[in-house]
Structure formats: C-alpha cells, structure tokens
C-alpha cells in the first residue's frame, strides 16, 4: 500500500509501506479521504512546531474517513463497504487521566501523526489502515469528505464544551482557518446569539459569513474596527482564539466584557498575554486541546444536517498529487480545507 510520509521540511514522499492485519477488536479499512490539517502543514513546512521536531520519517494525517474492508476477531456491528469516520484519538484507557474521564489528557496518547513521542506515532494517510473498533464511527449518509471533517469539528465542539453555556452569548472568533470556521458553526449550533469573526484574508472571511458569522472584520484592511467593541470594558462573552497570534489574542481580550471566557485553540507557541486585563476584568483563560467523545457527537450532528461542513471543503486532489494538497492548504487566499482522495 502507499502512504504519505514526511521525511523533513518540504520533503514529502508517497511511499510503499507494508499492510497490517487486524487483530482482536480491530478493523481493516480502505482509506476514503484525508484532510490536511494545520499540524500536518507544520511538519511539511517547518519539520515540526514549537520544540517538537521530526526525528524519523513519519506517515502524516489524522483527519480521515474510510470504508470497512474486513473485521478482526470480536468485532461486530460493521458491514463491508460501510463508511466510517476514524477518530485519531487513541488514549490508553488505563492511565489516571483516562480513568478520571479526561482521555484527551491521556499520558500515553497515541494520536495519529504526532512527533511528540519517539518513536513517532505514525499517521493515517495510508491506503490501508488498521484501526480499533472504538475509533470507527458509522458515517452512513455523509460524503467521505464530510466524514473526514469530523476531527477538526470535534476540536471545536470540545472547545465549545469548555466554554459552558453558550445560549444567547456574544462570540468573537479570531482566526478563520478551518478551526475558526468550524468554531462559528459549533457556537451557533450551541445557541450563540451574535458571532463576529476576524482574519487577515478576505477569502476566509467570506466563508465565515457564508457559514453564519453575523459580521466579519478584516484586520489587514480595517485594523481599528474591532476596537469599537472595547467601550465600557468590552462586549463579547466568549472568545475563540483560533489564530495562535499574540496580536489577535490581545485584541480579543480587549473586546471581552468582564467575566468573559477565552478559549485558546490556536497553537502559536508561547505568546505574551495581557495579564493585567485578565486580572482586572476577571477573565477566564481556558486552553482547549484535542477532544474525545465529541468526535462521535460531531458525526451525528452532520448526519442529522445540524452542522454543514461542506462549504469548508474547497479542494480535493488524488493521492498521486498529495503534495499539491499541502501547497493548497498553506494558501489562505484560496483554500480552506484541502483533502486527499485515497479511493
């Protein structure tokens, strides 16, 4: 089978790899679609992020859907040809955080395509994938592309859960890449009353309006527009910070009203935080990292037509043109989610 392997920054190869056979509780899957994520792009463009560096070749990818080919011993409830969304979240289910109900904080997490541990956790961009039963969520009724959006959607559903009650809230989303756009969808579905989104790209902001943002602000062409919300100690109840950029965080904090909640999703490395404003306005700064149960929730919301991710999928290319998907996904002037069709 072929797999998409990163060797170093800008050194992406489609290579032959041995196929695995499913063991107890596992399924053998034929990959349908894989979405290129920001973390994949970090490996592709920079060979890692923060202190995390590639130290050996690694199969990329963690946003995937697949067709069931066969099942291993003890697996029931799946049929050949069935479309499944495959969760890349593989907690050990035995460490103290797993047992406390915090699987996304698992001490032995084997999240697909991660160079954090060594040996690296190999990813899911491969024609044949053997996965555990608990990872495979029925995606009947969805397109393979939609099913492959379950992972980034789950990231934003987890953040929304971290925010708590969303009904009637005024929401600011800074950064309108896929996570920002999905945050708009998740916040709206959860009852947000007003959603304002910022970015530097007119293309992404047009998409933000299309999926339901009430107002968008282009921080490149209207750098002062957000400051109108700073009066009387701020306006917004919740900030989804999806850019990972310090100026976006600072601008968002200034526009948050007292007791507002900051959801930090953007992974921009360590940034300076306006701590005085957090103290004086009694803001809650809440990190949000990955997800676990929200994956199946997201699939279900898509199946019921309650969240529509289709407008995000701007490009789909074949496996032989995989690198094109990475180049497209890096270009915020024309692409939102670029996906690779494996079959």
Residues lying near Zn ion in the complex (CB under 5 A) are found at 37, 63, 91-92, 95, 98, 106, 151-152
299 close to 151: Cβ distance less than 8 angstroms? no
Task: Count CB-CB contacts under 10 A for residue 193.
Answer: 14
| Min separation Cβ 116 and Zn ion, Å | 14
| Min separation Cβ 324 and Zn ion, Å | 19
Q: Give the residue from 235, 185, 173 showing the smallest Cα distance to 210.
A: 185
Dihedral sign (CA 60, 2, 138, 190): positive
| Min separation Cβ 275 and Zn ion, Å | 30
How far, in Å, CA of 227 to CA of 160, rounded? Answer: 25
How far, in Å, CA of 73 to CA of 164, rounded? Answer: 40
The CB-side HSE value for 123 (13 A sphere, CA atoms) comes to 26
1 close to 28: Cβ distance less than 8 angstroms? no
| Min separation Cβ 98 and Zn ion, Å | 3
| Min separation Cβ 319 and Zn ion, Å | 19
Q: Which is nearer to Zn ion, 92 or 341 (CB)?
A: 92
Q: Which two tokens stand for residue 219?
A: 């921080």
How far, in Å, CA of 164 to CA of 173, rounded? Answer: 16
Alpha helices in 176-293 (DSSP H): 178-189, 202-210, 246-254, 275-280
| Min separation Cβ 152 and Zn ion, Å | 5
Q: Which is nearer to Zn ion, 33 or 216 (CB)?
A: 33
Q: Which is nearer to Zn ion, 95 or 278 (CB)?
A: 95
Q: Which is nearer to Zn ion, 98 or 136 (CB)?
A: 98
Q: Which is nearer to Zn ion, 289 or 320 (CB)?
A: 289
Q: Is the peptide bond before 50 cis (omega within 30 degrees of 0)?
A: no
Q: Which is nearer to Zn ion, 28 or 158 (CB)?
A: 158
Alpha carbon 194 to its chain centroid, in Å, reads: 23
Q: Which is nearer to Zn ion, 94 or 228 (CB)?
A: 94
Q: Which is nearer to Zn ion, 155 or 253 (CB)?
A: 155
Strands 236-241 and 256-264: parallel
| Min separation Cβ 241 and Zn ion, Å | 17
| Min separation Cβ 61 and Zn ion, Å | 9
242 close to 217: Cβ distance less than 8 angstroms? no
How far, in Å, CA of 320 to CA of 324, rounded? Answer: 9
């Amino acid at each position: 089978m072929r797999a998409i392997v990163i060797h170093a920054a800008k050194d992406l190869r489609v290579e032959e790899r041995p196929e695995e056979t499913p063991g107890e509780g596992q399924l053998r899957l034929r990959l349908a679609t894989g979405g290129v994520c920001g973390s994949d792009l970090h490996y592709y463009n920079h060979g890692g992020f923060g202190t995390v560096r590639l130290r050996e070749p690694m199969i990329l990818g963690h946003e995937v859907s697949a067709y069931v080919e066969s099942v291993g011993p003890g697996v029931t409830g799946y049929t050949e040809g069935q479309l499944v969304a495959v969760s890349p979240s593989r907690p050990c289910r035995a460490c103290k955080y797993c047992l406390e109900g915090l699987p996304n904080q698992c001490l032995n997490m084997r999240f697909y395509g991660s160079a954090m541990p060594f040996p690296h956790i190999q990813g899911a961009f491969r024609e044949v994938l053997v996965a555990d039963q608990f990872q495979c969520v029925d995606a009947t009724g969805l397109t393979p592309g939609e099913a492959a959006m379950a992972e980034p959607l789950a990231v934003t559903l987890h953040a929304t859960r971290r925010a708590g009650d969303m009904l009637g809230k005024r929401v600011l989303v800074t950064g309108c890449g896929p996570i920002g756009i999905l945050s708009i969808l998740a916040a709206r579905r959860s009852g947000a009353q007003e959603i304002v989104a910022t970015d530097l790209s007119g293309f992404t902001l047009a998409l933000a309006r299309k999926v339901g943002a009430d107002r968008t602000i282009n921080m490149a062409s209207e750098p002062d527009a957000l400051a109108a919300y700073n009066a009387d100690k701020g306006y917004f109840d919740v900030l989804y910070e999806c850019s990972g950029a310090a100026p976006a965080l600072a601008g968002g904090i200034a526009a948050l009203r007292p007791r507002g909640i900051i959801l930090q999703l953007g992974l921009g490395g360590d940034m300076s935080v306006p701590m005085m404003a957090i103290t004086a306005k009694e803001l809650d700064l809440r990190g949000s990292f990955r997800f676990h149960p929200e994956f199946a929730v997201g699939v279900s919301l898509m199946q019921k037509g309650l969240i529509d991710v289709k407008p995000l999928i701007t490009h789909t290319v074949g496996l032989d043109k995989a690198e094109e998907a990475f180049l497209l996904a890096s270009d915020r002037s024309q692409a939102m989610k670029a996906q690779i069709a494996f079959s």
